Amino acid sequence: MEIRIGIQHVNREIVLESNQSAEDIIDAASRATNEGTELRLEDSNGRVIMIPGARIGYVEVGAEQQRRVGFAQ
Which residues have C-beta within 8 Å of that of residue 49, sequence separation ≥ 6? 14, 16, 39, 40, 41, 42, 43
What residues does each domain of the chain span? 2-61
Confidence (pTM): 0.79
Stretch 18-30: mean pLDDT: 93
Whether 51 contacts 32, CB under 8 Å = yes
For domain 2-61, which architecture applies?
Roll (2.30)
Q: What is the pLDDT of residues 48-73, one digit of tens each?
A: 999 999 999 999 998 765 555 666 65
Which residues have C-beta within 8 Å of that of residue 58, sequence separation ≥ 6? 4, 5, 6
